[in-house]
Amino acid sequence: MSKTTVSTQKAPAAIGPYSQAVKLGDFVFTSGQIPIDPASGDIVPGGVEAQARQALHNLEEVLKAAGASSATVLKTTLFIKNMDDFAHVNDVYAGFFKSEPPARSCVEVARLPKDVLVEIEAIAFIPRS
């Protein structure tokens, strides 16, 4: 079994020496997605809810490029700058994972790339066609 990298222009390009995601067998492991608008390259304005929404949108595009989707996500990790934003991020997250949400960890961190407020990564199953 060999690993392959995943790349899509519908999500922000990696800002370092890493891939947007890596596929191995029936699984995809995404890198953390931050709230950058892939068209402009800018961090989306509007606070933590807008940033969580964009990070999840970017995550969805990477998953699609890998042959997966939000419905096949098994585990996510959320990194948030302020745990006081937990409820706001949860509201956005609940709208993205509407039924059978994946397992999840959420941790508060001192700082994220580009000083964003949230970063989200996932592990998903790739259904066989």
Identify whether 46 is a catalytic site residue: no
Greatest pairwise CA separation for the chain in angstroms: 43
* Three-state secondary structure string covering 83-117: HHHHHHHHHHHHHHCCCCCCEEEEEECCCCHHHCC
Residue 73 and residue 115 in contact, taking contact as beta carbons nearer than 8 Å: no
Roughly what angle, to the nearest 10 degrees, separates helices 47-66 and 86-96?
Answer: 40
| Residue 19 structure tokens | 């891939």
Q: Say which of 106, 112, 125, 126 is annotated catalytic.
A: 106
Active site residues: 106
